Amino acid sequence: DLLARLLTIQADCEIGGPHIYVDHWTLRAPTVDDQWRVARIAAEEIDHCRKFLRLLGLVGIDRSDIITRPRSKREVDAFKEDMPTWADFAVFGFLIDRVGQYQLDELEGASYLPVDDHLPTILREEKGHISYGEQQMRKLMETEQGLELVQAAVDHWYPVGLDMFGMSTSARAERYIEWGLKRRTNGEARRQYIAEVDPLITAMGLRVPDKLEGRRYL
């Protein structure tokens, strides 16, 4: 049951991103190179979803229903959001895909061995999404208006990202660790994420939002 839940949430998150931005940004990104990159990121994330659905299939579970699930029914609140500006897309890659990397890191050396066949490729591609998000943030920040849009996007997505780790007091997280499906508690992973991300935000000349805005996880 724990394995099925973990893989289902991961598959749902992977398809959730494209459901937010594909219609809006694939052909509206600033340049044709950016449009190509949005399409490529979407294709990689859809492929990640496909891989996790196959991993579920190996234990006899079919969750192909998540492909057409409405955004309001997504497993994680971050994938129910809108993405009105290009700054949102950039910061989503920088912050939210980084949370995704943390969640995937938990599966390294996991007790469900078939994950090892796919994880290196998925992690490499996720790191590429994070890097592209940062690159686009820096481009936007070259103008005062762009800087304001990026800061507004960071203010929005930062607490959303913190909430993605789940409740710090989750009993289920302890069971994931017991069964070798995770290595850290939710609180530990979130603290490590904050320790990594806050200096990066500050070094870019941006303001780190108030962490209490993500207080749902406390």
Tell me the one-letter amino acid at 34. D
Q: How far is the C-alpha of 56 from the C-alpha of 25, rounded, in Å? A: 30
Supply the pTM of this predicted model. Answer: 0.94
Q: How far is the C-alpha of 157 from the C-alpha of 163, rounded, in Å? A: 10
- How high is the pLDDT of residue 139? 98
Specify whether the CB–CB gap between 35 and 27 falls below 8 A. yes
DSSP-based helix, strand, coil % in the chain, nearest 5: 75, 0, 25
- How high is the pLDDT of residue 218? 53
Tell me the one-letter amino acid at 101. Q
Q: How far is the C-alpha of 42 from the C-alpha of 161, rounded, in Å? A: 19
Angle made by CA atoms 47, 48, 54, in degrees to the nearest 5: 90
- How high is the pLDDT of residue 184? 94
pLDDT per position in the chain (218 positions), as tens?
999 999 999 999 999 999 999 999 999 999 999 999 999 999 999 999 999 999 999 999 999 999 999 999 999 999 999 999 999 999 999 999 999 999 999 999 999 999 999 999 999 999 999 999 999 999 999 999 999 999 999 999 999 999 999 988 888 999 999 999 999 999 999 999 999 999 999 999 999 998 765 555 65
Q: C-alpha dihedral over 114, 52, 41, 203, to 10 degrees?
A: -70
Specify whether the CB–CB gap between 98 and 173 falls below 8 A. no
Q: E strands, 77-130, where?
A: none
- How high is the pLDDT of residue 169? 84
Q: Please give the C-alpha separations between residue 41 and each of 77, 123, 188, in angstroms, as whole numbers.
A: 20, 13, 29
Tokens of 48: 């990640």
